[in-house]
Amino acid sequence: MEGAEKPDRKISVLVAEDEALIRRAFCLLVQSLEGIILAGEAENGALAVDQAGRCRPDIVLMDLAMPVMDGIEAAIRIREISPQTRIIALTGLRTPSEILRGLRVGISGILLKSTTPEELRQAVQAVIRGERYVSPQVAALLGEEYMDLRRREESPLAELSPRETQIVELLSSGQRSKQIAEELKISEKTVDKHCENARRKLHSATTAELVGIWNRLTKNGRGKAVRR
């Protein structure tokens, strides 16, 4: 009938997860939600890209850590071949840096693998509206990571170059300049030069004082240098 309201189109979801039991559990979860249909499933990132290219799902529910191609690279490729597809990443809170990488490449949502049906429904609806959804537990973890990053950036050790940081760290483990030179395949003179630069930056008169400063600032992981 003309002018009649059409029923809402169901949201299609592709599930990509390498662990079979978890993948099956999420497929059943997706199928149990009203207004959402299962578009397919994939056991690795490469298959997720292939299936997304063929079925163009509204959403890909995808583990960040998978074989063949990880979830980050798969997300990038899926967005290239199917720009309208939104990605909701699944994580076991392995590392905050992995989650941050996902957000930087345009992932629309982050959920724990222990998510509830209601939270999954909320996340799906949010990203379909063009919003971003991050699980509260994940948001809390990212907040801690941000504060830790600020502490590292404010540390004097952040002034050290990657090579200087590496050498001071080896010195603090008890190695001498000759051993470090052999391990890094550089000359002992180069090691001493980097050590001299590190002493200048950290205002230490001797190598022993330099190592003492390093040990104090890196105790319990605080003040760790940013490896730029």
> What is the domain class of 11-147 according to CATH?
alpha beta
Can you tell me the mean pLDDT for 132-144?
A: 80
* pLDDT at residue number 150: 53
Residue with tokens 């662990």: 19
C-alpha–C-alpha distance, residues 47 and 16, integer Å = 8
Q: Which CATH architecture has domain 155-221?
A: Orthogonal Bundle (1.10)
Instruction: Please list the residue range(s) of the chain that carry CATH number 1.10.10.10.
Output: 155-221
As annotated, the residues of the chain forming the CATH 3.40.50.2300 domain(s) are 11-147
Task: Give pLDDT tens digits for 98-114.
Answer: 777 777 788 899 998 98
Kindly state the average pLDDT of the residues 138-167: 70
**β-strands 11-16, 59-63: how paired?**
parallel
SS3 at position 94: coil
Closest to 114 in 3D by CA, of 89, 143, 92: 92
pLDDT value for 120:
94
pLDDT digits (tens, 9 = 90+) for 17-74: 999 999 999 999 999 999 999 999 999 999 999 999 999 999 999 998 888 998 888 9
* Average pLDDT of span 136-160: 66
Segment (H or E) for 144: helix 136-154
- Decide: pTM greater than 0.95: no
Taking alpha carbons only, the member of 66, 94, 5, 34 closest to residue 13 is: 34
Q: How sure is the predictor about 228, in pLDDT bands with cuts at 50, 70 and 90?
A: very low
